[in-house]
Amino acid sequence: MATTTCEIAPANPVEQFLRTDRIPHIWCPGCGIGTSVNCFTRALIELDADLDKIAVVSGIGCSGRVAGYLKLDSFHTTHGRAIPFATGLKLARPELTVVVYSGDGDLFAIGGNHFIHAARRNIDLKVICINNFIYGMTGGQVAPTTPVSAIATTTPFGSFEPPFNLPQLAEAAGATFVARWTTYHVRQLTRTIKEMLKRKGFSFIEVLSPCPTLFQRRNKQGDGLAAMKMYKQLSKTRNGAPTAETAIEQGKPIIVGKFVDIERPSYLGSMEQMLSSRLGDRYVHVENLEWH
Amino acid sequence: MATTTCEIAPANPVEQFLRTDRIPHIWCPGCGIGTSVNCFTRALIELDADLDKIAVVSGIGCSGRVAGYLKLDSFHTTHGRAIPFATGLKLARPELTVVVYSGDGDLFAIGGNHFIHAARRNIDLKVICINNFIYGMTGGQVAPTTPVSAIATTTPFGSFEPPFNLPQLAEAAGATFVARWTTYHVRQLTRTIKEMLKRKGFSFIEVLSPCPTLFQRRNKQGDGLAAMKMYKQLSKTRNGAPTAETAIEQGKPIIVGKFVDIERPSYLGSMEQMLSSRLGDRYVHVENLEWH
Amino acid sequence: MPKGTVTIIAERCKGCGFCVEFCPTKVLELSTAFNSKGYHPPHVVAPEKCSGCDLCGMYCPDFAIYGVKNGNASSGEDKKNK
Amino acid sequence: MPKGTVTIIAERCKGCGFCVEFCPTKVLELSTAFNSKGYHPPHVVAPEKCSGCDLCGMYCPDFAIYGVKNGNASSGEDKKNK
Amino acid sequence: MALTELRVAGFGGQGVILAGMIIGKAASIFENGYATLTQSFGPEARGSACSAQLVLSDEPVLYPYITQPHILIAMSQDAYNKFATDVRPGGIVLIEEELVRVSEIPPGVKICGIPATRLAEQIGKRLVLNIVMVGFFGAVTKLIDREALRKAVADSVPPGTTEMNLQAFDRGYEYGLESRCAEQLPESLPVERGLEGQFAGSES
Amino acid sequence: MALTELRVAGFGGQGVILAGMIIGKAASIFENGYATLTQSFGPEARGSACSAQLVLSDEPVLYPYITQPHILIAMSQDAYNKFATDVRPGGIVLIEEELVRVSEIPPGVKICGIPATRLAEQIGKRLVLNIVMVGFFGAVTKLIDREALRKAVADSVPPGTTEMNLQAFDRGYEYGLESRCAEQLPESLPVERGLEGQFAGSES
Amino acid sequence: MITADPKGVLTGAHFIDGDQACTEGCLAAGARFAAGYPITPSTEVVERFARRIPTVGGRFIQMEDELASSIAILGAVWGGAKAFTVTSGPGFSLMMEHLGLAVMTETPCVIVNVQRGGPSTGLPTLPGQADMMQARWGSHGDYEIIALSPQSPQECFDLSITAFNLSEQFRVPVLFMMDEVVGHMTEKVIIPPAEEIEIYPRRLTVKPPEEYLPYAVDGDLVPEMVHAGMGYRFHITGLTHDERGYPAMNPEAQDKLIRRLKDKILENADRIITLEEEGLDSADVVVVSYGITARVAQRAIELARAKGLKVGKLRLVTVWPFPEQKIRDLAGRVRAFVVPELNLGQIVREVERCAAGQARVISVPHAGGSVHRPEQILERIEEAAK
Amino acid sequence: MITADPKGVLTGAHFIDGDQACTEGCLAAGARFAAGYPITPSTEVVERFARRIPTVGGRFIQMEDELASSIAILGAVWGGAKAFTVTSGPGFSLMMEHLGLAVMTETPCVIVNVQRGGPSTGLPTLPGQADMMQARWGSHGDYEIIALSPQSPQECFDLSITAFNLSEQFRVPVLFMMDEVVGHMTEKVIIPPAEEIEIYPRRLTVKPPEEYLPYAVDGDLVPEMVHAGMGYRFHITGLTHDERGYPAMNPEAQDKLIRRLKDKILENADRIITLEEEGLDSADVVVVSYGITARVAQRAIELARAKGLKVGKLRLVTVWPFPEQKIRDLAGRVRAFVVPELNLGQIVREVERCAAGQARVISVPHAGGSVHRPEQILERIEEAAK
Ligand SMILES: Cc1ncc(C[n+]2csc(CCOP(=O)(O)OP(=O)(O)O)c2C)c(N)n1
Ligand SMILES: Cc1ncc(C[n+]2csc(CCOP(=O)(O)OP(=O)(O)O)c2C)c(N)n1
Ligand code: SF4
Ligand code: SF4
Ligand code: SF4
Ligand code: SF4
Ligand code: SF4
Ligand code: SF4
Ligand SMILES: [Mg+2]
Ligand SMILES: [Mg+2]
């Protein structure tokens, strides 16, 4: 038979990455966050990454719960502050690959400042933003990504604030790697996560993801599956597209792909270089600031 | 005689705008902030503006003291929060022309998030940022505008953080009017302030300004006058330059001019439009939310 | 023997239908029965078509399904995972 | 009579030299004397050249100098300023 | 009415709170009583355990919590397991009978089942299962006037859905009028066992 | 040394605090005493009133503030006006004589002037006027050993400027050794009056 | 006092929760501007405001964070509006700097905190009353504020009007300290007709600009206000300032200003404080409580009375300023105070301080996440009565 | 205890101010990471750190604001560093949310607050001691922290080491409550050789990952830590959590966790609290003070003794946890406490509470901006002695 029972089945590939004692998770039926987690974990498998050296930092939100389900060193911090926490973590322990995994509200509403500053500094963080166009965790309020005229609980008559074009903002702030996929693009997303994990510097992947409960349904876009189909239909891959052209607008294709991938010395690299050039032998380099 | 004594002199044009009981001000010799104030006040004169309907909001910093010297309705708020204060003020009293006058650290370090969100929303605020490349008020710490390798008290061996390209960041966030001048460009700056005051929507002028005490001197660039001469020499006016090309970099000309000037409905306009279209007659429009 | 095997952990399923929709060979269908949370999990309708591509696994937001290529049972086992 | 008149409020001056440098007709020079704060304010060396352009006034960060065109004394007076 | 404690429980997404709201509103606005509704739910928007507690009374309610409910409306197995034993002797447990397998009934408690989800699906929208339940509750308990309940339904659901919801209410009410309730372990109730069979099928 | 209270005052940018620091360091590190320096300045980086208070003693200093200073070093008119009257009888006021017009001298207080800014400008950098003042202070008061003060200067200024600063110190010290101090209103000190003349000229 | 603007008043009987009742109270009080940032369990307040305000005539903005929302309202107030913001623990912590700014600039406004379990992210959906001391001490520097604590949806309505009134009367931010239970509890709320609702008008000056000094005061220590755009060209700063509102960087200005800011509250404490008292005259034991805990305590009190104990009830409708004198007076004549709170002992410390050893003070702490069982309180009452 | 890493220890005599001495103390204590945001009068601490750390082996980052700096240090600690941040009033208010996160996650770290005049922007360059209650109550929810108050540059050095040690020992954020006077006062500071400096090592677990439970505790209620990258794959959250560190959304978990967080401090209060006592045995009046005010008070005490009064001195080196027992003990045998502070009466409230009417408690408030004149305190001592 082609199916087997759990017991004798070959392991579910995501299983080793999960705190299985916390599954089932809290995400709703058709929520895309779990799908993105699959891609992330597959990327780790394919990279054969040393899982002891990967840390995940989340803020608060449905997406922010990712840290809690991943069996890695993982930190569920405060709302909006995953990036500065991750900054401290990375600077104290450069050996770690530090992944920031959080939501659009968390990273770009309350957390927007930290995002642009970390991008400017080119801190070697890998940021995965689940953009579901809404605040999920708190029940569907308008986010800085909510499309104009969409209904949210705090814009009951339609949002009238233009959303950010996140890739453009990221690039303008200084991000050296910028991509966007949807949860429909599982293979592409996995590949881009792999690329990101391998490189140095501030990297950003926007993942468009259904929130059937609070975004799709309220906006008469059906359930999670309907959203996935819509992504499939509306997406247009344009690697290298100028980020000024990646705004998500009603009636236009959703541009996905890898938009920016440039080299610039990372924060730690620049620090190292500047201090050793100015201080010469007096500069004491220590890799991890481990305290014993 | 070509000079006269104070008493019989025609009024100093800036005088009517000053809280003269607070002059002399605290700014250092050769500081450019006062020069920018001259331009601002000349713009008001030339516009024959109704001074009762202009409010100035500042954060904290040397530049943030502008609010305290101008004899207008003026608010010296908290560090980094001039924009959200101004947002509340504008939304409660749309009749006011609300000018945010503050420093680079205030608006772009601690205040960066508010800036990008107000730009995104296209709130009708007129932001004048005195960029002196440093935190003046607190004694010369690195700012998100400090050029790489410059000395600041917290980067005693040279800054290694790339600065923001403010016009690019502003445009990416959604600003509809973006310009840059230096305090050398008094006439151009005056003209651009006039333009900004006349238009609607989130507008941003970056004013490069000497901080002889804490930036120039420490970086062996002489005094305020030396900085002014440098601006004169290095500036290149390129109106309409793509903001991606306006980064201030060592050895390159400083691009000045008006870079962005586009039309987009302002926040209040969009609100009005959306609510009246969705609510029809049920929508109650009130201009100023004055409480009696 | 088909090329692949798909495993369903019905109790975890929330019936979103992603796996059914995006299985390239249409191996799955949602069942009409409920699991104990009240969702309709998928069941296998065309086992022979399963390629073990694990697209269902990549799509499943609830970690409730996965495919493996036959004869490849221990793939994905991470040695470092203590 | 020259075209303009420049007025200096020496006690406000901090001796930055902006006015001297950027006066298009080189009307001014810094004096060697101190004011009570210890700064060297400008003084007029070529009054006849003053055009009253007020560039000195626009540059002066200390509101310590200004030029007016002669016969234009009340310009800039704001009626609304109570 | 005398002070009555009531709990509605299920998982998020089932409209548990709204069901409680409607009952409370009926009692306090459309009849002239008092009601206090408190709620508890998990951190997430949907999917986890969720319950509404109601204290109904003729006088203002002081202590807002229930201690031993007279009535439990259990819309999920979790809810049943967690709350059924609290019901006070002589009380009633109303269950979504396809989602709840009745393991143990507290002594002296009546159990009444309704396939609310399925009925709701028949009406056209699974989401109205809570309204079906409210109707069922109305008929079985007769605690609150049918019309008051109906008004409360109409007053509480999104405009445009009123009709469907009233239909759901009536469907539940009718079902309730006809249903028999059991006072002992109802071997016959076709719960989880059936499901097991189906899943075994799908997994084998 | 017996407990001595000292104030250095001027406006921001004159190096007032550094002057105090050097004196304190000389006393507590390069001689074997104790010194407590407190400072007060305005909100801005430069330009407003600013003063440093020093308590010098052979024993650890408990109360860190001065009450009635023995010595005032006044580097601006504001400073003089604000602080001169506090100086205790028998004390000394050292002034930057081109910036301070001595209006009133507290009884029994000696006034000693030095054109520190001008001397500093002669040395090449107006900024070292504070070091000139420290030298002057050393010579006039003899409170602290000249070498201790010189070491403190060398230890406190930015590397690369040591020589110029020591030169400034010595210039001030020499000037101090030669200077006479006045105990009454020194009509002859050429202060503000002269400036007024000059400004009048520049404004006319 | 004037009466409410009928546009904001939804007269009638409603079955709504405390959060929604709070919104209605703010609207009835005249609030026409709110800035908010979502946070459980408070979000419903602004959600309802966002739905209601376009048809009342006003504006709502969801800001990018709590720092922004807590200062946007201050901007709105200086622009002429009555304004408020709403949050819960983590957001409240972020508002502390602007609470201080509101105090310093004497900006009337209301900050609603629907308390949940803390510290940190804690228990987002469950109740706590552990921000009570933070309400008083959470911003740097010395100041006094006013804090009210409603016990039911009806009071969420009634007291949010009181909050605005006090805020206008004393030009002080008023903290409306709800809790998750009260916020999410649904009960009948009666909203009276507008003409029965009293509103304290803004204390706008009638002086002409030449005579007006923004921070000069008369008898009751509260200065008169102006709005931007009225032609006064005034200046407001968070720095220590003089009567003109200009920065004044010296200890004398500090002393004058900071003492007045405290005194205007403390010297008017009698006019500010509302208490609910019952059976105090003959009480051996007084239960001191506030918010939802007061309703639980009430049950405990009844159980105790049923056992023949003489128990009085003192409910702190106003928690800050603390009713010091009341406690002092009672301490002399009762045996003990029992203080149940959904925290590990906050307001009980004030009771302890004011009781000054004259009566026993028994804390009934609770870490939050639920309310006390009445029996827990009863036990301590019995112990106290011994 | 281990001894200090000599790399960070600048042994010798220095004429430096309290801010700089604090930096040296942190370096000596082993801090190799600091994140800061400039604010008067605290900036010198990080300025010196920025200058020193590249040659010691560590990193400094100036973050974009205090929210960021106060959480960057927590990230650094979980990465293995000892870390601190520095601020003053307005910045301290912005750090309150992360103070709570540090408490909740039991992240050892030090937050330095060089207090200036408040509230709001207040008096940026002038002293205050008005953030003392904020230190204890400024974040939402219930918790306990440790706060120390140095009185001289030498103590800024010495006690910042103590601060780090306590922080490591109890896994709690320690607040280092300086004031502008102490911070900007320059005096001789003796830095001993590294081997004379005792350091409390981080409580890293020795258990293997399978056996390790991040929040399980033994006798002293403090769990053992691990760092990221060590192979434990642990989870940390600001939510209420169980021993595994997993969110646990129920009142039982809340009770267990929150009480332990308080108890680990309160039950160890004796080990934590340091007091400087003098002449208490025979005292009629005890002056209770801390920070710079203690030095002013000392002068007043001497003046009073010169007048023949029996005055004792109790200096709170540790302000939080408050030395309740000490005050209770003294209250029984002295006539009065006199409590001068650079605020309008904060810690005096605690004294009042603990004295419980057994002794008079006399506040000597001061709005800040300068220190007391010793005579002001003397007067109140005389009054108390009557
Ligand atoms: C300081 C603070 N403010 C507000 C909140 C409430 N809050 C929790 S999650 C969230 C928004 C989450 O939105 P997003 O980041 O888009 O995540 P999603 O739930 O959509 O995945 C908010 C506002 C909080 N926890 N802390
Ligand atoms: C919350 C808070 N953090 C820090 C400060 C200290 N502070 C005052 S002004 C300033 C920086 C000012 O820099 P900028 O905005 O560039 O103004 P400038 O002085 O250079 O004109 C800082 C950090 C503060 N007042 N409040
Ligand atoms: S509310 Fe939206 S984002 Fe959150 S779990 Fe549900 S579907 Fe996902
Ligand atoms: S410090 Fe710099 S910015 Fe500030 S007043 Fe002086 S020159 Fe201007
Ligand atoms: S994708 Fe997963 S949750 Fe969705 S239907 Fe398939 S098995 Fe169920
Ligand atoms: S493994 Fe591939 S082919 Fe098999 S069921 Fe899953 S998606 Fe379909
Ligand atoms: S520009 Fe103004 S301050 Fe500068 S020298 Fe001229 S008058 Fe003086
Ligand atoms: S007014 Fe013009 S010409 Fe006259 S002094 Fe000034 S700058 Fe020169
Ligand atoms: Mg989201
Ligand atoms: Mg600046």
Q: Dump pLDDT digits (tens) for H16-39.
A: 999 999 999 999 999 999 999 999
Q: Helix (H, G, I), strand (E, B), or coil: what is residue F190?
A: coil
Q: Helix (H, G, I), strand (E, B), or coil: what is residue A63?
A: helix
Q: How far apart are CA A57 and CA B248, in angstroms?
A: 33
CB-based contacts of F67: which residues, under 8 Å, 6+ apart?
F5
Is the bond leading into B163 cis (omega within 30 degrees of zero)? no
pLDDT tens figures, G7-46: 999 999 999 999 999 999 999 999 999 999 999 999 999 9
Candidates H357, H30, H14; CA nearest to H164 is: H30
Record: contact C44-A9, CB cut-off 8 A: no
Contact B278, G54 (CB under 8 A): no
Is B62 near ligand 4, meaning CB less than 6 Å away? yes
Q: How far apart are CA B150 and CA G361, in angstroms?
A: 61
Candidates H183, B212, B103, B207; CA nearest to F46 is: B212
Q: Which domains does chain A have, with CATH numbers?
A: 15-288 (3.40.50.970)
* E strand or H helix at G15: strand G12-17
Is A60 near ligand 3, meaning CB less than 6 Å away? no
Q: How far apart are CA A118 and CA H322, in angstroms?
A: 40
* Environment class of H219 (CB within 10 Å of its CB; exposed 0-12, middle 13-18, buried 19+): exposed
Residue whose structure tokens are 């009181």: G162
| Of the residues H172, H196, H220, the one at which a domain ends | H196
- Is there a domain that residue G207 lies in? no
Question: Are G92 and G183 within one domain?
Answer: yes
Q: What are phi and psi of D31, to 5 degrees?
A: -85, 165
Contact H76, A92 (CB under 8 A): yes
Output E41 or D11, whichever has higher pLDDT. D11
pLDDT tens figures, G240-260: 999 999 999 999 999 999 999
The neighbour count for residue D71, using CB atoms within 10 Å, is 12
**Encoded tokens for G311:** 């128990």
The neighbour count for residue G196, using CB atoms within 10 Å, is 11
pLDDT band at C74 (very low <50, low <70, confident <90, very high): very low
Q: Can chain B be said to touch chain A, i.e. do they have 3 or more Cβ pairs within 8 angstroms?
A: yes
Is the bond leading into G41 cis (omega within 30 degrees of zero)? yes
B4-to-B10, B110, D39, D51, D74 alpha-carbon distances in Å: 9, 46, 21, 15, 15
CB-based contacts of E161: which residues, under 8 Å, 6+ apart?
none
Mutate to test the interface with E, among A28, A33, A135, A217 (most CBs of E within 10 A): A28
What are the residues facing D69 on neighbouring strands? D4
- Is there a domain that residue H351 lies in? yes
| Of the residues G196, G227, G251, the one at which a domain ends | G196
E44-to-A214, H131, H249 alpha-carbon distances in Å: 11, 37, 11
pLDDT at residue E2, rounded to an integer: 82
Question: Are H22 and H150 within one domain?
Answer: yes
Chain H's closest residue to F23, CA to CA, is H15
pLDDT tens figures, E33-44: 999 999 876 544
Query: What's the CATH fold of domain D4-70?
Result: Alpha-Beta Plaits (3.30.70)
- Is there a domain that residue H236 lies in? no
Buried b (16+ CB within 10 A) or exposed e, H265-300: beebbeebbeeeeeebeebbbbbbbbbbbbbbbbbb
* Structural domains of chain H, count: 2
Measure CB to CB from residue F195 to each of D8, D33, D43 and give the nearest one.
D33
E88-to-B222, E77, H130 alpha-carbon distances in Å: 86, 19, 55
Amino acid identity of residue H239, one-letter, is: L
Residue whose structure tokens are 């660039």: B221
* E strand or H helix at B44: helix B33-47
Question: Are G179 and G326 within one domain?
Answer: no
pLDDT band at A21 (very low <50, low <70, confident <90, very high): very high
Contact G79, G227 (CB under 8 A): yes
Mutate to test the interface with H, among B77, B104, B107, B153 (most CBs of H within 10 A): B153
pLDDT at residue F186, rounded to an integer: 47
B187-to-B102, B257, G371, H56 alpha-carbon distances in Å: 20, 12, 67, 50
Q: What are phi and psi of A124, to 5 degrees?
A: -75, 70
Q: Helix (H, G, I), strand (E, B), or coil: what is residue F138?
A: helix
**Encoded tokens for G2:** 């004037």
Stretches where chain B sits below pLDDT 50 are 1-9
- Provide the Cα torsion A99, A102, A107, A111; round to 10°: -90
Give me the total of CB pairs closer than 8 Å, taking one residue from chain C and one from chain H.
Answer: 4
Candidates A256, G125, B137, G230; CA nearest to F48 is: B137
Question: Are H165 and H286 within one domain?
Answer: no
**Encoded tokens for A199:** 């490189």
E185 pLDDT above the threshold of 60: no
Q: How far apart are CA A243 and CA A166, in angstroms?
A: 9
Contacts of residue H233 in chain C, CB cutoff 8 Å?
82
Measured at the alpha carbon of residue G272, what is the angle toward residues G314 and G118, in degrees to the nearest 5?
A: 65
Question: Are G60 and G182 within one domain?
Answer: yes
pLDDT at residue F41, rounded to an integer: 61
CATH number at residue H56: 3.40.50.970
pLDDT at residue A9, rounded to an integer: 46
pLDDT at residue H354, rounded to an integer: 98
Q: What are phi and psi of B76, to 5 degrees?
A: -105, 105
pLDDT tens figures, F113-135: 999 999 999 998 888 999 999 99
* E strand or H helix at G326: helix G324-331
State the DSSP code for A133: S
* E strand or H helix at G176: strand G173-179
pLDDT at residue A231, rounded to an integer: 98
pLDDT tens figures, B191-215: 999 999 999 999 999 999 999 999 9
- For helices B33-47 and B186-198, the axis angle rounded to 10 degrees is 50
Measure CB to CB from residue B26 to each of F48, F203, F204 and give the nearest one.
F48
Q: How far apart are CA H86 and CA H45, in angstroms?
A: 7
pLDDT band at E78 (very low <50, low <70, confident <90, very high): confident
Record: contact D43-F192, CB cut-off 8 A: no
**Encoded tokens for D46:** 């070529």
Question: Are G32 and G160 within one domain?
Answer: yes
Q: How far apart are CA B111 and CA G67, in angstroms?
A: 10
CB-based contacts of F163: which residues, under 8 Å, 6+ apart?
none
Kindly state whether G87 is in contact with chain A, defined as any CB-CB distance less than 8 angstroms: no
Average confidence (pLDDT) over H97-107: 98
Kindly state whether D75 is in contact with chain B, defined as any CB-CB distance less than 8 angstroms: yes
Is the bond leading into G54 cis (omega within 30 degrees of zero)? no
Amino acid identity of residue F86, one-letter, is: D
Quick one: residue H208, left, alpha or beta (phi over 0 = left, psi -120 to 50 = alpha)? beta
pLDDT band at E184 (very low <50, low <70, confident <90, very high): low
Contacts of residue G233 in chain D, CB cutoff 8 Å?
82
- Is there a domain that residue G22 lies in? yes
Record: contact F36-H185, CB cut-off 8 A: yes
Please tell me the number of Cα atoms within 13 Å of G229 on its side-chain side. Answer: 19
Q: How far apart are CA A205 and CA A211, in angstroms?
A: 18
Record: contact C62-A25, CB cut-off 8 A: yes
The boundaries of the domain holding residue H283 are 274-385
Candidates G286, G302, G378, G374; CA nearest to G335 is: G286
Record: contact G65-A141, CB cut-off 8 A: no
pLDDT band at A291 (very low <50, low <70, confident <90, very high): confident
Contact A36, A130 (CB under 8 A): yes
Q: Which domains does chain F have, with CATH numbers?
A: 4-186 (3.40.920.10)
- Is there a domain that residue G234 lies in? no
Candidates B157, G32, G119, A261; CA nearest to H99 is: G119
Question: Are G184 and G306 within one domain?
Answer: no
* Environment class of B148 (CB within 10 Å of its CB; exposed 0-12, middle 13-18, buried 19+): middle
Q: Is the dihedral of CA G119, G125, G130, G131 positive or negative?
A: positive
- Is there a domain that residue G245 lies in? no
pLDDT at residue C72, rounded to an integer: 54
D19-to-A90, B5, E14, E31, G146 alpha-carbon distances in Å: 50, 18, 76, 83, 54
Calculate the average pLDDT of chain E. Answer: 84
G335 pLDDT above the threshold of 60: yes
In terms of DSSP bridges, do strands B177-182 and B203-208 run parallel, antiparallel, or are they unpaired?
A: parallel
What is the Cα F67 distance to its own chain's centre? 18
Q: What are phi and psi of B11, to 5 degrees?
A: -60, 140
Longest dimension (CA), chain G: 69
Percent of chain G residues past pLDDT 90, beyond the cut: 99
Please tell me the number of Cα atoms within 13 Å of F190 on its side-chain side. Answer: 8
Residue whose structure tokens are 């007084």: G286
Quick one: residue E13, left, alpha or beta (phi over 0 = left, psi -120 to 50 = alpha)? left
| Of the residues H196, H228, H257, the one at which a domain ends | H196
pLDDT tens figures, G160-180: 999 999 999 999 999 999 999
Candidates G237, H42, H282, A40; CA nearest to B57 is: G237
Average confidence (pLDDT) over F80-106: 89
Contact B101, B67 (CB under 8 A): yes
Kindly state whether C79 is in contact with chain H, defined as any CB-CB distance less than 8 angstroms: no
**Encoded tokens for A159:** 């949002």
Chain G's closest residue to E57, CA to CA, is G187
Candidates H339, H328, H322, H330; CA nearest to H384 is: H339
